[in-house]
């Protein structure tokens, strides 16, 4: 069954009919095309993000041209670059300051797994401190890969139920990170 259905106008009613869908789907569609990313860029992957935002790749085609440098006004945290253990608490604080619903992308090998920096001072993936929704591989990932990850986030947003954030499973996920 399609998410959006065309309902014919009943006999005697003027017009071609109307589209019907669920509230979940309608809000998901609106949200997914108006995400406000917060770029948390600490090193080289951030340069690829600049290319992703520039005119050639143009992330604004997906409704995400409005970057937010305030966590209060962002719903997608894009982490790009090496995250040292000293930087970890700052990143976590930024995540905590974002309101629900919020999503997280780990862009590049460093943010996803520590990358080549298998060393005492570097987090071996930001999912050690915050939940991650989409991982983008690469060192660095090309803008096409970042866009692919962004589309992955859009699909998640479109299919997520409005009730997910109140489910015991989601609360359990947050609790596993020590977040109430
Ligand atoms: S993944 Fe590669 S390009 Fe990206 S921050 Fe790490 S070392 Fe730099």
pLDDT of residue 1: 46
Backbone angles phi, psi at 104, to 5 degrees: -135, 135
pLDDT of residue 38: 97
Identify which of 39, 139, 143 to mutate to test ligand 1's pocket (most ligand atoms within 8 A of the CB).
139
Identify which of 39, 42, 43, 105 to mutate to test ligand 1's pocket (most ligand atoms within 8 A of the CB).
43
**Which residue, by CA, sits nearest to atom 5 of ligand 1?**
81
Query: Is the Cβ–Cβ distance between 83 and 48 less than 8 Å?
Result: no
**Which residue, by CA, sits nearest to atom 3 of ligand 1?**
140
User: Model confidence over 7-59: pLDDT tens digits?
Assistant: 888 777 777 777 777 888 888 899 999 999 999 999 999 999 999 999 999 99
> What's the mean pLDDT when you consider all of the chain?
92
Ligand 1 centroid to Cα of residue 151, in Å, is 21
In angstroms, the CA 151 to CA 156 distance is 9
> What's the predicted TM-score (pTM) here?
0.90
User: Model confidence over 104-137: pLDDT tens digits?
Assistant: 999 999 999 999 999 999 999 999 999 999 999 9
Name the nearest CA neighbour of 32 among 76, 1, 98.
76
Domains in the chain: boundaries:
1-32, 36-149
pLDDT of residue 26: 85
36-149: CATH number? 3.40.50.12280
Which residues approach ligand 1 with their CB closer than 6 A? 43-45, 81-82, 108-110, 115-116, 139-140
CB neighbour list of residue 175: distance below 8 Å, 6 or more residues apart:
none
**Which residue, by CA, sits nearest to atom 2 of ligand 1?**
139
In angstroms, the CA 122 to CA 116 distance is 10
The atom number, within ligand 1, closest to the CA of 45 reads: 4
pLDDT of residue 2: 59
Ligand 1 centroid to Cα of residue 81, in Å, is 6
User: Model confidence over 69-89: pLDDT tens digits?
Assistant: 999 999 999 999 999 999 999
> What DSSP letter does each residue of 95-160 carry, written as one string?
HHHSPSS-EEEEEHHHHHH-TT--STTB-S-GGGTS--SEEE--SSPPHHHHHHHHHHHHHHHHH-
140: cis peptide before it, omega within 30°? yes
């Amino acid at each position: 069954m399609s998410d959006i259905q065309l309902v014919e106008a009943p006999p005697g009613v003027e017009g071609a009919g109307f589209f019907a869908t669920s509230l979940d789907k309608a809000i998901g569609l609106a949200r997914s095309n108006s995400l406000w990313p917060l770029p948390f860029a600490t090193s080289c992957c951030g340069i690829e993000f600049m290319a992703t935002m520039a005119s050639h790749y143009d992330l604004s085609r997906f409704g995400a041209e409005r970057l937010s440098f305030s966590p209060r006004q962002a719903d997608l945290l894009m982490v790009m670059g090496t995250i040292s253990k000293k930087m970890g608490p700052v990143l976590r604080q930024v995540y905590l300051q974002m309101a629900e619903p919020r999503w997280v992308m780990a862009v590049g090998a460093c943010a996803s797994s520590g990358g080549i920096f298998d060393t005492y001072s570097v987090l071996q993936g930001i999912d050690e401190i915050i939940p991650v929704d989409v991982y983008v591989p690469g060192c660095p990932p090309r803008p096409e890969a970042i866009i692919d990850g962004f589309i992955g986030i859009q699909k998640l947003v479109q299919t997520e139920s409005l009730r997910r954030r109140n489910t015991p499973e989601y609360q359990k996920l947050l609790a596993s990170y020590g977040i109430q």
